[in-house]
């Protein structure tokens, strides 16, 4: 999709540096804006907020809402919902599962990339609420899931906000991708 405008976001500047390196390797750096922010806090009206911190250096500063602020977007009107697609692979492992993780994951991946909370699925409610505020009508949300996230997350994609909810299993038969259309 050469004409798509793409924003890649992460709360970790180190993760964004890796993403930028990957983009360069694939010759798509000029098509992606990299933005350091908490969930979708760095956006207003489908654009990086003037206060959003861009690791490209084109824009500066801090997320719109603090890390500890409720995960609600100030953007709710129909006209200001601007994205066609939001895709996320959030942290989704439960801290209670930490001892069961493979050592090469537990001891070498940054905690912020692994744990979604005590249970693991705590990120999804805020992310889904913010996505609802930012997706155009008929826009699509695609979420990667933890191995036990589906029962907690599926009910969050309910009417009248969401429709056409679909679950895709991974090769081990575990529900891994949840997608839904914004009404």
CA proximity to 7, closest of 74, 123, 87: 87
**58 versus 112: smaller Cβ distance to ligand SAM:** 112
CA proximity to 166, closest of 177, 156, 155, 152: 177
Q: Could you give the string, one character per residue 33-52, with x where binding to ligand SAM holds by CB under 6 A and - elsewhere? A: -----xx-------------
Ranges within 70-99 binding ligand SAM (CB under 6 A): 89-91
11 binds ligand SAM (CB under 6 A): yes
63 binds ligand SAM (CB under 6 A): no
Give how far the C-alpha of residue 109 lies from the chain's centroid of Cα atoms, to the nearest Å.
18
143 binds ligand SAM (CB under 6 A): no
Binding residues (CB under 6 A) for ligand SAM: these are: 10-12, 15, 38-39, 89-91, 112-113
């Amino acid at each position: 999709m050469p004409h798509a405008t793409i924003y890649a976001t992460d709360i970790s500047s180190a993760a964004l540096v890796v993403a930028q390196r990957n983009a360069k390797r694939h010759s798509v750096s000029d098509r992606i804006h990299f933005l350091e922010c908490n969930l979708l806090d760095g956006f207003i009206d489908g654009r990086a907020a003037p206060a959003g911190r861009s690791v490209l250096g084109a824009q500066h500063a801090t997320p719109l809402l603090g890390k500890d602020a409720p995960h609600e977007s100030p953007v709710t009107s129909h006209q200001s919902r601007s994205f066609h697609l939001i895709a996320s692979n959030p942290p989704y492992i439960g801290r209670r599962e930490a001892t069961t993780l493979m050592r090469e994951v537990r001891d070498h991946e940054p905690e912020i990339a692994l744990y979604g909370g005590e249970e693991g699925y705590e990120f999804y409610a805020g992310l889904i609420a913010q996505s609802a505020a930012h997706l155009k009508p008929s826009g699509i949300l695609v979420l990667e899931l933890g191995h036990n996230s589906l029962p907690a997350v599926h009910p969050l994609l309910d009417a009248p906000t969401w429709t056409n909810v679909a679950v895709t299993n991974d090769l081990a038969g575990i529900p891994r991708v949840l997608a839904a259309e914004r009404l």
